[in-house]
């Protein structure tokens, strides 16, 4: 299992597809970009969600942690 805050994992999709029983998880705790920027300096939320979709569409088991939840 790999936990991601950035979308850099997309560059390794070809390698990940070859692996057996892999899970990629993401952490999203708010949809408010300003609030997120105060908490961490990772890529914006839209890029995380897009990357999650691409990993899932590549046939890789994908999990999204939505915790703790901060209001948007």
Write down the pLDDT at residue 4.
61
Mean pLDDT of the chain: 82
Q: What is the mean pLDDT of residues 15-29?
A: 86
Neighbours of 46 (CB within 10 A): 10
- Asked whether residue 2 carries a pLDDT value surpassing 60, the answer given is no
Assign 20 a pLDDT band (cuts: 50, 70, 90).
confident
CA distance readout (Å), 62 to 5, 30, 46, 56: 13, 19, 16, 6
Return all residues near 20 (Cβ < 8 A) that are at least 6 apart: none
DSSP state of 15: H
Write down the pLDDT at residue 3.
56
pTM over 0.85: no
Q: For residues 2 and 67, which has the higher predicted lDDT (pLDDT)?
A: 67
């Amino acid at each position: 299992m790999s936990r991601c805050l950035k979308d850099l994992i997309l560059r390794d999709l070809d390698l990940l597809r070859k692996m057996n029983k892999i899970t990629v998880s993401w952490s999203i705790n708010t949809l408010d970009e300003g609030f997120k920027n105060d908490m961490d300096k990772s890529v914006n939320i839209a890029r995380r969600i897009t990357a999650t979709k691409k990993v899932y569409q590549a046939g890789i088991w994908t999990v999204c942690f939505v915790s703790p939840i901060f209001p948007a």
